[in-house]
Amino acid sequence: MRSVLLPSWLALSLVLAGCGGGGSGSASSGGTSATPTPSPTPTPTPTATGSACALADRDAWALAQLQEWYLFPDLLDTTVDPAAYSSLQDYIDAVVAPARAQSKDRYFTYVTSIAEENAYYASGETAGLGVRLGFDATSARLFVIEAYETGPAYAKGFARGTEIVAIGTSTSNLQSVSSLYASGGVDAISAAMGGSSAGTTRVFQIRQLDSTLSTVSVTKKTFTLDPLSPTYGYKVLTSNGRKVGYVNLRTFVTSAETALREAFAAFRAQGVSEVVVDLRYNGGGLISVANTFSNLLNAGRTGQVLSYTSFRPSKSSNDETAYFATEDSAIAATRVAFIASSGTASASELVMNAQKPYLPSGAALIGTNTYGKPVGQVGLDYTACDDRLRVVALKTENADHEGDYYTGLAANYPATCQAGDDISYALGDPQEASLKAALGYLNGESCTAIGATTSSASARTSAQSLSTSSLRAVRQPLEAKDPNFAQRELPGLF
């Protein structure tokens, strides 16, 4: 959050992110763009020695942070024997297991690399192929659902809708995706993709939308992710004779603020007051960017409540109220259609929830139900070991004190419309299923609502019934077994 809204020691530490995860298929989150201090009177950083990074010392440090900061202190199992676990993350998972059993911490508390996280949140820097992959378990097929223009795969012909048919380290050992799935499930497919380290090479057989097959070799590299695509990040569409703004935010990183201001300046210049906000693949990120996004949608509401942030009772002195702030590029949105999916989480949900009190009859959720993460993390650093512990420590509510949407936003959102994710069309194309439904809502057309009790699973089932085509089917993000930080933030990233 902005420093004017939070104590300076915590200002760069709060995030609402996550629905990436590990090979188990569970979700995780986190992020910051600076090195935060862990408390107003922080514990001294340990001496940078080998012994300081012994697993037993790291376990003890993590437990102390959890006991001080965890939002649900009564749901910590402090009786867990750390000696029974071979990694810090496994130990943390065991300690917070009671909260996970209640779906209050679905792998949102984790340890990551300080350096890796800082690089990602400052500029979107990461390493890999630069694609988001979705797996259709019904047909055992793997598709590119989004390709980043700055990644190495994009230049080799990978685009939205491209199918990955086979994977290998050379042309001589290509294995089909279907055979990998048959032998070891999605974990086998993920393993075949290899790690994210720059320099790792994989050979792929790919099929384009026109059915053309080719075999290409791609070497992973470090690249900077554009938070708004240069081709479809934002545009002004004409729908039913009216101008409608479309903006697709990939991730809530610091560099997104400039891009969002540019997008809304274009909307403002053309008199746009109705907007489609596409967050279908956005797992969250920095609260400060979520606030900027909300400000840009709400010209004229400066000083009114945007959201409330609350900590556990022992940390209530850190509770804060965020207010809408003036943005020169802001528009006074009269209607907003949010495109979402089960991968839409955290900071994305904060933006959506914040809009609800101010547009009770002019906001809609299009697609499927959201993930359900009304909590956020603080970042606590053990510098000697490059450990940043992301601890669930806060919850957010909108101006009407509505929060606790652990099963997603659909049940209580003003309006909802079911829609599929049709990867046979580019993002931002008015014929793409979710955008078409969003424009239909803005035009006053009727639609089938997302069920009031729709869970992520039932939402997937409902959307699946929209079409039997693999290109329109609901695909789950292919998750890396040992995700790097960016893969936690962007489910399906490779």
Residues 107 and 136 in one domain: no
pLDDT of residue 18: 56
Residues 359 and 264 in one domain: yes
pLDDT band at 16 (very low <50, low <70, confident <90, very high): low
Distances (CA, A) of 254 to 9, 226, 394: 18, 11, 21
pLDDT of residue 6: 31
Residues 196 and 274 in one domain: no
Look at the block and give the residue holding tokens 């490779």: 494
494 within a domain of the structure (yes/no)? no
pLDDT of residue 12: 40
Q: HSE (CB half, 13 Å, CA atoms) of 383? A: 12
301 within a domain of the structure (yes/no)? yes
pLDDT of residue 474: 65
34 within a domain of the structure (yes/no)? yes
Residues 249 and 397 in one domain: yes
Task: Please say which residue of 85, 103, 123 terminates a domain.
Answer: 123
- CATH code (residue 254): 3.90.226.10
Rg (CA), the chain: 22
Number of helices followed by number of strands (H, E) in the chain? 11, 22
- In 3D space, the residue among 368, 367, 354 whose CA is nearest the CA of residue 407 turns out to be 368
Two tokens, residue 130: 């630069």
**CA gap 441, 424 in Å, rounded:** 22
Parent domain of 40: 15-123
pLDDT of residue 483: 85
Over range 127-138, report the average pLDDT. 95
In sequence order, which residues have a C-beta less than 8 Å from that of residue 277 and are 6 or more positions away?
247, 249, 297, 336, 337, 338, 339, 351
Residues 259 and 354 in one domain: yes
Residue 426, SS3 per DSSP: coil
Is pLDDT of 10 > 80?
A: no
Over range 38-46, report the average pLDDT. 36
Residues 96 and 137 in one domain: no
Two tokens, residue 350: 């904060």
Residues 294 and 423 in one domain: yes
**CA gap 141, 189 in Å, rounded:** 10
Pair 344, 370: CB distance under 8 Å? yes
Is pLDDT of 50 > 70?
A: no
Distance of CA 486 to the CA centre of its chain: 10
**CA gap 244, 238 in Å, rounded:** 6
Amino acid at residue number 403: G
Residues 274 and 407 in one domain: yes
In sequence order, which residues have a C-beta less than 8 Å from that of residue 191 and are 6 or more positions away?
184, 481
Is pLDDT of 364 > 50?
A: yes
**Of 45-49, 56-60, 303-307, minimum mean pLDDT range:** 45-49
Pair 3, 11: CB distance under 8 Å? yes
Q: For residue range 199-233, what is the model confidence (pLDDT) as tens digits?
A: 999 999 999 999 999 999 999 999 999 999 999 99
Residues 259 and 275 in one domain: yes
pLDDT of residue 124: 87
483 within a domain of the structure (yes/no)? no
Pair 160, 133: CB distance under 8 Å? no
Over range 173-179, report the average pLDDT. 98
485 within a domain of the structure (yes/no)? no
pLDDT band at 22 (very low <50, low <70, confident <90, very high): very low
Over range 404-412, report the average pLDDT. 95
484 within a domain of the structure (yes/no)? no
| Mean residue pLDDT across the chain | 87
pLDDT of residue 456: 41
pLDDT of residue 453: 43
Tally of structural domains, the chain: 3
DSSP letter at 251 equals -
Question: Per-residue b/e over 428-454, b at no fewer than 16 CB within 10 Å?
Answer: bbbebbbbbbbbbbbeeeebebbeeeb
pLDDT of residue 484: 85
Is pLDDT of 174 > 50?
A: yes
Residue 288: strand pairing partners: none
Pair 107, 473: CB distance under 8 Å? no
Two tokens, residue 449: 């609502």
384 within a domain of the structure (yes/no)? no
Residues 198 and 281 in one domain: no
Task: Please say which residue of 224, 243, 266 terminates a domain.
Answer: 224
Task: Please say which residue of 77, 101, 123 terminates a domain.
Answer: 123
382 within a domain of the structure (yes/no)? no
Residues 38 and 154 in one domain: no
Over range 275-287, report the average pLDDT. 95
Residues 101 and 144 in one domain: no
pLDDT band at 470 (very low <50, low <70, confident <90, very high): low
pLDDT of residue 263: 98
In sequence order, which residues have a C-beta less than 8 Å from that of residue 123 and are 6 or more positions away?
224, 253, 254, 255
Q: For residue range 287-344, what is the model confidence (pLDDT) as tens digits?
A: 999 999 999 999 999 999 999 999 999 999 999 999 999 999 999 999 999 999 988 9
Beta-carbon neighbour count of residue 150 at 10 Å? Answer: 14
- CATH code (residue 152): 2.30.42.10
